[in-house]
Amino acid sequence: MTTRIGVAVIGAGFAGIAVAARLRAAGHDVRIIERAPRVGGTWRDNVYPGVACDVPSHLYSLADHPHPGWSTQFAPGGEIRDYLERIVAESGLHDVLRLGVALEHADWDAHARRWRLTLAGGETLHADALVLACGRLVEPRLPDVPGIASFPGPVLHTARWDAGFDPAGKRIAVIGTGASAVQLVPQLARRGAEVTVFQRTPAWIVPRGGRDYTTAERDRFARHPELIAALRARLLADDEARFAARAGHDRAAADAARSEATRHLAAQVPPGALRARLTPDYPFGCKRVLRSDDIYPVLASGAAVLEPSALAAVEEGVLVAASGARYADIDAVVLATGFHAQRQPYAEIVRGEDGMSLADHWATGMTSFASTVVAGFPNLFVLNGPNAALAHTSSLLILEEQAGYVTRALGRRTAHGGVLRTRPEAERGYTASIDRRARGTSWLGGCDSWYRDDRSGRLTLLWPGTVADFRAMMAAADGSEFEPAFDSDGRPLTPERLAHYQEV
């Protein structure tokens, strides 16, 4: 049996919920398909001890759904998941949400001019439009370490935490020193584990700060939601002011930001070998800058031990570091090794015009127009995909713009004969403008990171501008990025108009 629907949204994390709520409010027939039994995306999956968001809670929320009740300035993961569940309930999304059903294939049906979705179990849906809100930090990246499969004890990835795993009294090797590891390691030490941290590359780390909100503050936010809006605006303005330092455009600002991180390290780790090992040798901001007040003290006190090299092999239960050091007495290995962010698994199962998959289209790295639509994939929108993350502030701000863009674009569908076909030159122009913006930034400045594609070296994850730049770019996208060669007012697209894409 085939059911015809309006807009299919795949995924019920932040992106899926935000866009579905917006589309529903605009009167669209929306269905959300989620393979897990619960909503929440990354905040459902990541339940390792210490999981939290290092972006301030009131900025790491949706503007349409202010939440006066955040308990603290940096919300724990469980509270964020509860927030998403509340939005689903408040926006009446339960009746359009299907949980526990995986999308197996999405194929553009050129004849019917619709997406044909095949769900696990064989059911098919026909959707006028498809929104991929499948997340970017979803599939755990397991390091290619010889012998790791033979390790006799538990091997856990941070995003696949086992709630029954008790760290107390165990000797645990944590592999990696990214955002997940710096949250986890102090918590494991606090819970009585003996932790060894395998650090391939040190991170730049700045102070986190943060405190709990008082009951009086939360009551005030509830009575005066305009205070939340004002706080968001202030937090965003502060972050935007830091953009030039993160991007590396402003050398003096970047030096000052690096000095803050260096002072933070010096204040918490005495001079000597450990401090030297924790000092990065690549530009500030090249990899994600971490916020932590407790990782350095845990390492400096010896509550956790630093192995200053990668995990290279596991030989008969012994962990062998790239330095040659051998760890024979480890009970459990925790992989804080991140996600497959550059090669999104959903790209394999989505086929557009001529049967080409998104993975084929993105064979040398993700590209798009407006970080959201892709040539050859009509009536398709990708959230959290190409150049849609931010390094200097809350990535939800991009997501909110994308949700607005999807809503506006779908409103233009009739003017385009029901099919929004992204013009290839619009995508090429946008890609060129991304490359221009990325040139000379710290993100291309000599480190390996998941912000760049390892096939092309291009910056494919981050939007290399401010939030204001992104909003301006989105505001300029007036629908002329879609075929046919007439815009929604019936004006022919002139060469001048096309040249506009080179300037976006």
Distance CA 10, CA 21 (A): 13
Distance CA 353, CA 374 (A): 11
Least CB distance from residue 156 to ligand NAP, whole Å? 13
Interacting stretch for ligand NAP, rule CB under 6 A, among 49-57, 293-301, 404-412, 461-469? 49-57
Interacting stretch for ligand NAP, rule CB under 6 A, among 86-94, 113-121, 197-205, 491-499? 197-205
Element (H, E) at 296: helix 295-300
Residues 359 and 343: beta-carbon distance below 8 Å: yes
Does position 44 interact with ligand NAP (CB under 6 A)? The reply is no
Q: Specify the residue, 165 or 486, whose C-beta has the smaller distance to ligand NAP.
A: 165
Does position 119 interact with ligand NAP (CB under 6 A)? The reply is no
Distance CA 450, CA 140 (A): 13
Distance CA 278, CA 156 (A): 25
| Total residues at interface with ligand NAP (CB under 6 A) | 28
Least CB distance from residue 396 to ligand NAP, whole Å? 11
3-state SS string for 316-357: CCEEEECCCCEECCCCEEEECCCECCCCCHHHHCEECHHHCE
Least CB distance from residue 106 to ligand NAP, whole Å? 26
Structure token pair of residue 191: 């819970």
Does position 268 interact with ligand NAP (CB under 6 A)? The reply is no
Does position 143 interact with ligand NAP (CB under 6 A)? The reply is yes
Distance CA 57, CA 42 (A): 16
Does position 50 interact with ligand NAP (CB under 6 A)? The reply is no
Does position 448 interact with ligand NAP (CB under 6 A)? The reply is yes
Residues 166 and 331: beta-carbon distance below 8 Å: no
Structure token pair of residue 495: 């060469």
Q: Specify the residue, 125 or 306, whose C-beta has the smaller distance to ligand NAP.
A: 306
Does position 137 interact with ligand NAP (CB under 6 A)? The reply is yes
**Residues within window 308-367 making contact with ligand NAP, judged by CB under 6 A:** 310-311, 336-339
Residues 464 and 443: beta-carbon distance below 8 Å: yes
Cis peptide before 484 (omega within 30 of 0): yes
Does position 255 interact with ligand NAP (CB under 6 A)? The reply is no
Task: Give the x/- contact pattern for ligand NAP in 70-109, rule: CB under 6 A.
Answer: ----------------------------------------
Binding site for ligand NAP (CB under 6 A): 52-55, 137, 143, 145, 158, 175-181, 183, 198, 200-201, 288, 310-311, 336-339, 448, 450
